[in-house]
Chains A and B, each alone.
Chain A
Amino acid sequence: MIRSIIIGVLAVAVVGTGYWGYLEHQEKNAVLIQAENNYQRAFHELSYNLDHLHDELGSTLAMNSQDRLSPSLTDVWRITAQAQNDLGQLPLSLLPFSKTEEFLYKIGDYSYRNSVRDLDQDPLTDEEYESLKELYHQSGEIQNEMRKVQGMVIEDDLKWMDVELEMASKDEPLDNAIVNGFEVIDEKVGGFSEVDFGTGAKEISADDEKIAENLDGEEIDEQEAVNIAGEFLDREGNLEAEVENTGDGLAYDAYSLLIEDPEDNHTIYMDITKKGGKPLWLLEDRQVESAEISLHEASEKAKSFINKNGFDNMQLVDSKQYDNVGVFNFAHLHDDIRVYSDSVVVEVALDNSDVIGYEAFAYIANHKERKPSNQELSEEEAKENLNPSLEVMEHHMAVIENDLEEEVLCHEFFGVIDDDTYRIFINAENGREEKVEKMDRAEPVYDFD
Chain B
Amino acid sequence: MKSQEIRRLKRMLFAALVCMQFVIILPSMEVDAFTDQIIQKGATGDDVVELQSRLQYIGFYNETIDGVYGWGTYWSVKKYQEEFGLEVDGLVGTKMKQMLKKSTDFDKEYVHRMLEEGRKFTYYGDTPKDIQKGPKGSKDQKAKQEHPPSPGQEQEQQRAPEGEQPEQPAAEEPVPEEGAPAEEAPPEEVPAEDTPAEEAPQEQDNDADIQKAINTPEGFTDNDIQIMAAAVYGEARGEPYVGQVAVAAVILNRIESPTFPNTASGVIYEPRAFTAVADGQINLEPDETARRAVMDAINGQDPSGGVEYYFNPDTATSDWIWTRRQVKRIGKHVFCE
A residues near B (Cβ < 8 Å) are 29-30, 33-34, 36-38, 40-41, 44-45, 47-49, 51, 147, 150-151, 154, 157, 200, 202-203, 206-208, 244, 246-250, 256, 267, 269, 271, 281, 283, 285, 287, 291, 293-297, 299, 318-322, 325-327, 345, 347, 357, 359, 361-362, 393, 414, 416, 419, 421, 439-445, 447
The answer to whether B266 and A45 have CB atoms under 8 Å apart is yes
The answer to whether B75 and A393 have CB atoms under 8 Å apart is yes
Q: Check A281/B266 contact, CB under 8 A, given A319-B41, A444-B66.
A: no
Task: Quote the shortest CB–CB distance from B77 to chain A (angstroms).
Answer: 11
Q: Of the candidates B75, B289, B296, B307, which one forms a contact with A357 in the assembled complex, judged by CB atoms under 8 Å apart?
A: B296
The answer to whether A154 and B218 have CB atoms under 8 Å apart is no
Q: Is B78's beta carbon under 8 Å from chain A?
A: yes
Q: Check A44/B226 contact, CB under 8 A, given A250-B305, A345-B300.
A: no
Binding-face segment, B15-23, B142-150, B323-331: B323-331
The answer to whether B45 and A291 have CB atoms under 8 Å apart is yes
CB neighbours (8 Å) of A271 from chain B are: 303
The answer to whether B302 and A33 have CB atoms under 8 Å apart is no
CB neighbours (8 Å) of B213 from chain A are: 441-445
Q: Is B43's beta carbon under 8 Å from chain A?
A: yes
CB < 8 Å A-B pair total: 211
Instruction: Tell me the interface secondary structure of chain A in the complex.
Output: mixed
Task: Quote the shortest CB–CB distance from A163 to chain B (angstroms).
Answer: 16
Q: Of the candidates A30, A244, A294, which one forms a contact with B39 in the assembled complex, judged by CB atoms under 8 Å apart?
A: A294
Q: Is B306's beta carbon under 8 Å from chain A?
A: yes
Task: Quote the shortest CB–CB distance from A425 to chain B (angstroms).
Answer: 15
CB neighbours (8 Å) of A345 from chain B are: 299-301
A202→B217 CA distance, assembly (Å): 11
Nearest CB in chain B to that of A443: its residue: B216
The answer to whether A439 and B337 have CB atoms under 8 Å apart is no
The answer to whether A444 and B63 have CB atoms under 8 Å apart is no
The answer to whether A202 and B219 have CB atoms under 8 Å apart is yes
Binding-face segment, B122-130, B165-173, B278-286: B278-286
CB neighbours (8 Å) of A207 from chain B are: 306
Q: Is B91's beta carbon under 8 Å from chain A?
A: yes
B residues near A (Cβ < 8 Å) are 35, 37-45, 62-64, 66, 68, 70-72, 75, 78, 91, 118, 211-219, 221-224, 226-227, 230, 240-242, 245, 256, 263-266, 268-271, 277-280, 282-283, 285, 288-289, 292, 295-296, 299-303, 305-307, 324-329, 335-337
The answer to whether B219 and A296 have CB atoms under 8 Å apart is no
The answer to whether A285 and B242 have CB atoms under 8 Å apart is yes
Given contacts A34-B278, A247-B327, 14 further A-B contacts (CB under 8 A): A33-B280, A37-B278, A45-B263, A48-B263, A203-B256, A208-B305, A248-B325, A287-B292, A299-B40, A327-B299, A357-B299, A393-B78, A414-B71, A419-B72
The answer to whether B221 and A443 have CB atoms under 8 Å apart is yes
The answer to whether A208 and B306 have CB atoms under 8 Å apart is yes
The answer to whether B279 and A41 have CB atoms under 8 Å apart is no
Q: Check A444/B71 contact, CB under 8 A, given A33-B280, A287-B289.
A: no
The answer to whether A44 and B265 have CB atoms under 8 Å apart is yes
Task: Quote the shortest CB–CB distance from A447 to chain B (angstroms).
Answer: 7
Would you list 20 pairs from A and B whose C-beta atoms are within 8 A, ordered by A residue?
A30-B278, A151-B226, A247-B325, A247-B327, A247-B328, A249-B337, A269-B242, A283-B296, A294-B39, A295-B42, A296-B37, A297-B38, A321-B43, A345-B301, A361-B300, A442-B66, A442-B215, A445-B211, A445-B212, A445-B213
Q: Check A319/B42 contact, CB under 8 A, given A41-B269, A247-B325.
A: yes
The answer to whether B221 and A321 have CB atoms under 8 Å apart is no
CB neighbours (8 Å) of B224 from chain A are: 48
CB neighbours (8 Å) of B78 from chain A are: 393
Residue from the set A36, A248, A361, A440 with the largest chain B CB neighbour count within 10 Å: A440
Task: Quote the shortest CB–CB distance from B67 to chain A (angstroms).
Answer: 8
CB neighbours (8 Å) of B301 from chain A are: 281, 283, 345, 357, 359
A12→B284 CA distance, assembly (Å): 37
Nearest CB in chain B to that of A82: its residue: B263
The answer to whether B40 and A296 have CB atoms under 8 Å apart is yes
The answer to whether A256 and B328 have CB atoms under 8 Å apart is yes
CB neighbours (8 Å) of A247 from chain B are: 325-329, 336
CB neighbours (8 Å) of A48 from chain B are: 224, 263-266
The answer to whether B288 and A287 have CB atoms under 8 Å apart is yes
The answer to whether B218 and A439 have CB atoms under 8 Å apart is yes
A206→B66 CA distance, assembly (Å): 35
Residue from the set A44, A51, A362 with the largest chain B CB neighbour count within 10 Å: A44
A37→B269 CA distance, assembly (Å): 6
Task: Quote the shortest CB–CB distance from B171 to chain A (angstroms).
Answer: 23
CB neighbours (8 Å) of A40 from chain B are: 265, 269
A249→B335 CA distance, assembly (Å): 9
Residue from the set A150, A295, A345 with the largest chain B CB neighbour count within 10 Å: A295
The answer to whether B223 and A34 have CB atoms under 8 Å apart is no
Nearest CB in chain A to that of B243: its residue: A269
Nearest CB in chain B to that of A52: its residue: B263
Task: Quote the shortest CB–CB distance from B20 to chain A (angstroms).
Answer: 23
CB neighbours (8 Å) of B222 from chain A are: 151, 443
A247→B309 CA distance, assembly (Å): 14
The answer to whether B300 and A359 have CB atoms under 8 Å apart is yes
Q: Check A443/B214 contact, CB under 8 A, given A319-B42, A393-B75.
A: yes
Q: Which 8 A-B pairs have the closest CB atoms?
A: A44-B265, A294-B37, A41-B269, A442-B68, A285-B241, A249-B327, A442-B213, A421-B71
A246→B270 CA distance, assembly (Å): 29
CB neighbours (8 Å) of A444 from chain B are: 64, 66, 211-213
The answer to whether A154 and B39 have CB atoms under 8 Å apart is no
Task: Quote the shortest CB–CB distance from B215 to chain A (angstroms).
Answer: 5
CB neighbours (8 Å) of A36 from chain B are: 280
Q: Check A294/B40 contact, CB under 8 A, given A246-B328, A249-B327, A443-B214.
A: yes
The answer to whether A283 and B299 have CB atoms under 8 Å apart is no
Task: Quote the shortest CB–CB distance from A343 to chain B (angstroms).
Answer: 8
